[in-house]
Chains A and B, each alone.
Chain A
Amino acid sequence: MTDQQQLDLRKDAVEAGTTTGLASPSVDVTQERQNSLWSDAWGDLRRNPFFWIGAVLGLVFLLMALVPQVFARGADPRACDLGNSRGLPSADHWFGFDTQGCDYLANVVYGARNSLIIGVIAVLVILLLGVVVGAVAGYYGGLTDGILARLADIFYALPLILGALVLLRVGPSTGIPVINSRGPGAVAIALALFGWMTAMRLVRSQVIAVKSSDYVAAARAMGASSRRILVRHILPNAVAPVLVYATITIGVIIAAEATLTYLGVGLQRPAISWGLQIEAGQDSIRTAPHLVLFPSLILTMTVMAFVMMGDALRDALDPRQRA
């Protein structure tokens, strides 16, 4: 059998989907390299105290969002007694009482759920937008890339908080579903809409870098389809940086949600949110500083959890940055 015949046969096999199309030895490195990348990274993560602190904080946050009643020590956040208004922390009520006389620990703990919902939804939307737009721009290049990259530039030029602020301010009076809801969904979508560009750029640059590599050229020579190349060979390489980015971004989004809510355009009462608690507490910051202190503290620790995990992941996944 001549080489040409062999090549033809292989191409047929590829089109029939019976082999990977990666017969030449220099080619099928994606899988292997990814495996060693992740196992090296895990070895590195395990020895990083920052990762463990972040992971523990993150787990506590997650449990607080899922089963707040366990952390609230049996108190109901909405069972209030005005007689306790602004009561200071005590052995029975660790975080004291808010202005309405509600148990503050319960309120702060119940605030985690909205933060988690918004953080996760926003990041999922960001990833969806980022991966799709980035992959399309990077893979097709040319005019498509030019237009999409310019679109990202436009959004990038607007500060995240500012864009979301405007959208959420006008949202309720528009007819757009979700956006007009004043709920967690609206906040998450608004933040995602002004925050997808970095994910898009990460994916785009990875796609461009991998697209010109030899093994993708080989796969193409073997007749693999564009979509297949993109999904099998290119996107796996973008997973590591995108994962790092996504982890940190959950923290950033949670902080941004609290800020927007504090500024009055995010979640509205009677929703329970750290931003609303900080906003309500600031008037009595002299007499009852615990009203600002506790939600701020828990908010900061939550953000820190994601920043620490993301940082540790980055160090583990990018050997160049290692000491």
Chain B
Amino acid sequence: MGRYVARRLLLTIPVLLGASFLIFAMVYALPGDPIRALGGDRPLSPAVIAELRERFHLNDPLYVQYWEYVKGLFQGDLGTDFRGRPVLDTIERTLPVTVKLALVAIVFEAVIGLVAGVLAGIRRNSFFDNLVLVSTTLVVSIPILVLAFFAQLLFGLRLQWFPIAGTNEGLYSYLLPGLVLASGSLAYVARLTRTSLAENLRADYVRTARAKGLPNRTVIVRHTLRNSLIPVVTYIGADIGTLLGGAIVTETVFNLPGIGREVFNSIRSQEGAVVVGIVTLMVFFFIFFNLVVDVLYAVLDPRIRYD
């Protein structure tokens, strides 16, 4: 296992570098002149512009710029934005918001998704099962953008249960955006649980468990659920990585100052260093949680051995 993890970690390096280079290339192949934009109405003197261009390596070819960036990355230096603020500070300021949002979303996803999926899977073709089937189809089809507006309209403006923007009310402010962010995965978890459970209920070893005279509860919980949840748990694990990187729309609509909104604003204002820094971080989360899930798989299913 140790060797497998080490090998996988090594394999993540080219992916991480490749993804960050891809973004880097797109951001810096960019034109426009951010330095001039920095000056706003007041034109900067040519000397200052030249100095700034030098400092941000804007005169070098792309690969040299990227090499400088990667060197910094390995020393924990993500560079500075055009106002001279370290990108690391921006991340430290915004990341906690996104982490809280992702955690709230994961809790919704796991709790509601699992419960709905288990109940539907055990009582196949019941009213509740059909309800889950229809409502998950509906939820999967509603774009997050639309869902966010309707959540704001209904729960925020009409019912006034939740604040519709900002983080002023602590964890409570995260409930509505968390639910919106979780919706798609929640529906997927419910469906995955349902199919997996229904499939396992027909398994030979469940028949054996009944033939052994085990109580019904034990048959369901120990011999059906335990096996059915392996793909579900691994999906939820991998989804943490996705949620940490996928909150752009939710954070923007709900005005949460997390890395998603930050990266969106930086893309708009062409703050290259911030964009590359945050996207690299998102890619890292994604890869990291996928690795965790692969390891988790081996822990949950003894048939899988990576050595």
The interface of chain A, by Cβ under 8 A from chain B, is: 50, 150-151, 153-155, 157-159, 161-163, 165-167, 169-170, 173-174, 251, 255, 258-259, 262-265, 275, 278, 282, 285-286, 289, 292, 296, 299-301, 303-304, 307-308, 311, 321, 323
Q: What's the Cα separation between A321 and B197 when bound, in Å?
A: 12
A–B complex contacts, Cβ < 8 Å, 21 sampled? A150-B14, A150-B15, A151-B18, A154-B19, A155-B19, A155-B22, A161-B248, A162-B245, A166-B279, A167-B26, A170-B30, A259-B145, A262-B145, A265-B267, A278-B145, A286-B157, A292-B153, A303-B141, A304-B137, A304-B141, A308-B141
Q: Is B144 located at the chain interface by the 8 A CB criterion?
A: yes
Q: What's the Cα separation between A71 and B250 when bound, in Å?
A: 33
The size bracket of the interface on B is 35 or more
* Given contact pairs A154-B19, A258-B143, A289 touches B195 in the complex (Cβ within 8 A): no
Q: Quick one: which of B16, B137, B143 contacts A308, CB cutoff 8 A? A: B137
Q: Quick one: which of A165, A282, A289, A299 contacts B143, CB cutoff 8 A? A: A299
Q: Is B231 located at the chain interface by the 8 A CB criterion?
A: no
Q: What's the Cα separation between A275 and B138 when bound, in Å?
A: 20
Q: Would you give the shortest CB distance from B35 to chain A, in whole angstroms?
A: 15
* In contact, A158 and B149 (Cβ under 8 angstroms): no
- Chain B residues closer than 8 Å to A296, beta-carbon distance: 146, 149-150
* In contact, A259 and B143 (Cβ under 8 angstroms): yes
Chain B: CB-nearest residue to A251 = B141
* In contact, B146 and A165 (Cβ under 8 angstroms): no
- Chain B residues closer than 8 Å to A162, beta-carbon distance: 245, 248, 263, 279, 282
* In contact, A323 and B264 (Cβ under 8 angstroms): no
For residues 87 through 133 of chain B, which have their beta carbon under 8 Å from a beta carbon of chain A?
124-125
- Chain A residues closer than 8 Å to B198, beta-carbon distance: 323
Chain A: CB-nearest residue to B144 = A259
Q: What's the Cα separation between A158 and B138 when bound, in Å?
A: 26
* In contact, B242 and A263 (Cβ under 8 angstroms): no
Chain A: CB-nearest residue to B267 = A169
Pick the most buried of B23, B149, B249: most chain A CB atoms within 10 A of its CB: B149
- Chain A residues closer than 8 Å to B146, beta-carbon distance: 278, 296, 299-300
Q: What's the Cα separation between A215 and B144 when bound, in Å?
A: 46
- Chain A residues closer than 8 Å to B283, beta-carbon distance: 157-158
Q: What's the Cα separation between A167 and B29 when bound, in Å?
A: 10
- Chain B residues closer than 8 Å to A308, beta-carbon distance: 137, 141
- Chain A residues closer than 8 Å to B65, beta-carbon distance: none
Q: What's the Cα separation between A22 and B144 when bound, in Å?
A: 51
Q: What's the Cα separation between A286 and B19 when bound, in Å?
A: 41
Closest 7 CB pairs of A and B: A304-B141, A154-B18, A255-B143, A173-B31, A296-B146, A170-B30, A157-B283
Q: Would you give the shortest CB distance from A282 to chain B, in whole angstroms?
A: 7
* In contact, A263 and B282 (Cβ under 8 angstroms): no
Q: What's the Cα separation between A163 and B297 when bound, in Å?
A: 29
For residues 147 through 173 of chain B, which have their beta carbon under 8 Å from a beta carbon of chain A?
149-150, 152-153, 157
* In contact, A159 and B242 (Cβ under 8 angstroms): yes
* Given contact pairs A158-B22, A170-B26, A311-B137, A321 touches B143 in the complex (Cβ within 8 A): no
Given A278-B145, A285-B152, 14 more contacts at CB 8 Å?
Answer: A154-B18, A158-B19, A158-B23, A158-B279, A158-B282, A161-B249, A162-B248, A173-B32, A174-B30, A292-B153, A299-B143, A303-B143, A304-B142, A311-B137
Q: What's the Cα separation between A255 and B252 when bound, in Å?
A: 17
